[in-house]
Structure 1
Amino acid sequence: MELLAYLEAVSDCQTKEALDEVLIDTCNRIGVAALSGYNFPVSAYDDDQRLPIISTWPDSVRAVYRDIMVGDDPIMNAAMALGIPVHFRSLTAKMDLNEKGQTFVAAMFEAGLVDGVITPVISRPGSVACFAAAFDEQRDDIRPSELRRIKFLFSEYYFRYRELTDVRVSELSVRERQVMVAIVNAKSNPQIARELGVSEHTVGTYVRRCFEKLDVNNRTQAIVRFLGGGAGSLPSS
C-alpha cells in the first residue's frame, strides 16, 4: 500500500479494531513480523496501565515483557532519548543490557524475532508513545528511508488512535468520568457506590454507559481507551 493510500485508509477508520487491522496488514506487507505500541512513559505499578495500545508479539514474548520489562525497559528508554527511529540491533549493540534486557532479547530470538525498529511517536504535546516493529530476519542493511517509513506508519496510526479515543472520552459525563477514574484505581462496584454515595445498581448503569461510549466490552479495555484519551485524573463537578 502506498503511503497516501495508507493515510487515507487510516483516516477512514471509525473504530480501533479497523485501525489495528490497517496497521497490521500494511506492516505485514513490508516484512514486519510483529509490532507493538505503548503510551510513554509506561507505568510499572498498575497492571491495567501496563497494557499496550496494540501488540501482535507472540504470547511468550509478551509474557516476558509484561513480567520483567514494562515500566523499566532500557531499550525503549534509550530509543525515546534519541528521539528518532532506530535499528534494534544497532542500538542494543551499543548498550550494556542488564539481566532483564538480556532475558527479553533472548525471548525475542527464541520466538524467531531477531531484529527490528523502535521509534518514538508524538501526536501532540503530552501525547507520546513508543512503537516497535520486529523482523524475523536480521536487517543490518535497513536504510534510513525504511526507518522513516515505519515511523510514518506508526505516527499516522497513533494520531488517528488518539482522535478516536479523545472523542470517546469527551462523550463521558462528569459522573461517568468519576466512575472510570475509580475503575482505573481498581475499585469494585460496591466501593464505587460508597465513594459516590449512590446505589450499586446505579453504578452498574454508569459502568454500562461507559462501556458503550468507549466501545469496549470489559474493564481492561475501558481503562486502555480512557487513559489513551488523556483522562487520567478526577474531573471537577
Structure 2
Amino acid sequence: MLHCNRKEEPDWYCRGLRAGPGVKATNMVLPDDTSEFSGPLERYLDALGGVDDASELMGLFEDLHQVYGFASCVYAILRKEMQAMEFDKALIFHNFPPEWLQQYSQQNYFDIDPIVNQSPLQSKPFYWSEIGKLTTLTEEQKTYIRDFSRYGYKEGLAVPVFNAKGTIAYFGLGATLENFRLTEGKVLEIQVACQQTHLKYLEIGGALQPEFIVLSPREKQVLYWIAQGKSNSVIAGILEISDHTVDTLVRRCFAKLGVTNRVSAALRGVGAGLIKT
C-alpha cells in the first residue's frame, strides 16, 4: 500500500499519493486563467520559423513556459538514435538553481531520477506528484525527491517528446506555487510547444552544450541599453515598460551572466555575442 511520511516527504509527492486513481487534486487558478493561451502558443509557433540558433530558441521557450506559470524548466535528450545519453551530453538547457544542478551531477541523480526515467515510458505529460502511482520508488529515489523539494518546487510537469529517428527527449517544468494545476487544454498546449521546440532544435542542428547563456529577447534589449549606459528608469521609458519590470529583467540578466554589476554585465554580454554595441 502506498503511504506517505508527512515529516519526510515533500508536499507534492504526498499529494499525489493521497489523490489516488481518478481523483483530481484541487486546481489552482492562475492569473488570466479565464483567457485562452492559444494566442501565446500561436505566436510562439510562428516565432519558431525565424529561429536559427539554440540560444534564441531556448530564450523563446523560457518566456513561454513562464506564461503558463512555471518557474523553471529543463530540456534533455535522453536517447539519440536509440542510444542512451550520458548526463553531461544529454542536458541541453535548464534554468533551475545552479546549486541544484551541481548537486544533481555530483550525486549522479540522473541515473536514479524517477521522473526522468519514467518519462520515456509515458505517451503524454504527467505531474511530478503522480510519480508514486506510475512506478514503485526506491528509498534512494525518495531521498532524491526530498533533496529536490528543498529548492522550493511544489509541483511540476514531465513532458516526453519523440521524433521519427529514435530520439527521445524530456522537458521538466517546475512550479513553485501550491496546488499547481493546468487545464487539460493548457497541458496539451505545453506538450505541443515542447514537441515543436525539440523538433526545431534538431532541425537547426543544435549542439549538445549545456553551458550556453540564454537571454530572452526582452532581456537582450535591456542588456543592450545597459551597455549604452542607460539607467533603469530610462530603459523603462525606451521600452515602454514599468520600472519594476526593468528591475526584474536586470536581476535576471545578472544571474544568467554570473555578474553583480552593470559594467560586468555589458562586457560579458558583448563577449558572449549576446549583444552588439
TM over 0.5: yes
Q: Please report how far the alpha carbon of residue 158 of structure 1 lies from its aligned counterpart in structure 2 after TM superposition.
A: 0.7
Match of 2:85 in 1: 43
Structure 1 stretches of 4+ with a deviation exceeding 6 A read none
Preserved contact between residue 161 and residue 195 of structure 2 (Cα < 8 Å): yes
**Which one of the candidate residues 142, 156, 165 is aligned to 1:116?**
156
**Which one of the candidate residues 64, 71, 74 is aligned to 1:26?**
64
Match of 1:14 in 2: 52
For 1:31, the aligned partner's letter is G
Q: What TM-score comes out, normalization by structure 2 length?
A: 0.54
Higher relative contact order (CA closer than 8 Å, sequence separation 6+): 2
For 2:181 and 2:191, locate their aligned partners in 1 and report how far apart those are by CA, in whole Å: 17
Deviations 1:135-171 (A, max 9, x none): 00234543322221211121111111001117x89xx
Cα separation, partners in 2 of 1:94 and 1:124, compared to 1, 3 Å: closer
Q: Please report how far the alpha carbon of residue 65 of structure 1 lies from its aligned counterpart in structure 2 after TM superposition.
A: 2.3
Q: Please report how far the alpha carbon of residue 2 of structure 1 lies from its aligned counterpart in structure 2 after TM superposition.
A: 2.2
Structure ranking higher in helix proportion = 1
Match of 1:205 in 2: none
Between the two proteins, what is the percent identity of the paired residues? Answer: 18
Match of 2:139 in 1: 99
Q: Please report how far the alpha carbon of residue 64 of structure 1 lies from its aligned counterpart in structure 2 after TM superposition.
A: 2.9
Q: Please report how far the alpha carbon of residue 134 of structure 1 lies from its aligned counterpart in structure 2 after TM superposition.
A: 0.6
Counterparts of 1:56-205 in structure 2, within 5 Å, are: 56-66=95-105, 67-139=107-179, 141-165=181-205
Preserved contact between residue 85 and residue 118 of structure 1 (Cα < 8 Å): yes
Preserved contact between residue 40 and residue 64 of structure 2 (Cα < 8 Å): no
Cα separation, partners in 2 of 1:94 and 1:163, compared to 1, 3 Å: closer
Preserved contact between residue 43 and residue 71 of structure 1 (Cα < 8 Å): no
Give the secondary structure class of the aligned counterpart of 1:156: helix
Cα separation, partners in 2 of 1:91 and 1:144, compared to 1, 3 Å: farther
* Structure 2: runs of 5+ lacking an equivalent: 1-38, 209-271, 273-277
Q: Please report how far the alpha carbon of residue 48 of structure 1 lies from its aligned counterpart in structure 2 after TM superposition.
A: 3.3
Preserved contact between residue 79 and residue 119 of structure 1 (Cα < 8 Å): yes
Cα separation, partners in 2 of 1:134 and 1:97, compared to 1, 3 Å: same
For 2:156, the aligned partner's letter is G
For 2:70 and 2:145, locate their aligned partners in 1 and report how far apart those are by CA, in whole Å: 17
For 1:140 and 1:17, locate their aligned partners in 2 and report how far apart those are by CA, in whole Å: 28
Deviations 1:167-218 (A, max 9, x none): x89xxxxxxxxxxxxxxxxxxxxxxxxxxxxxxxxxxxxxxxxxxxxxxx9x
Q: What TM-score comes out, normalization by structure 1 length?
A: 0.62
Give the secondary structure class of the aligned counterpart of 1:14: coil
Q: Please report how far the alpha carbon of residue 26 of structure 1 lies from its aligned counterpart in structure 2 after TM superposition.
A: 0.9
Q: Please report how far the alpha carbon of residue 93 of structure 1 lies from its aligned counterpart in structure 2 after TM superposition.
A: 4.9
For 2:139 and 2:67, locate their aligned partners in 1 and report how far apart those are by CA, in whole Å: 34
Give the secondary structure class of the aligned counterpart of 1:92: helix
For 2:100 and 2:132, locate their aligned partners in 1 and report how far apart those are by CA, in whole Å: 17
For 2:196, the aligned partner's letter is E
Q: RMSD in angstroms over aligned alpha carbons?
A: 2.4
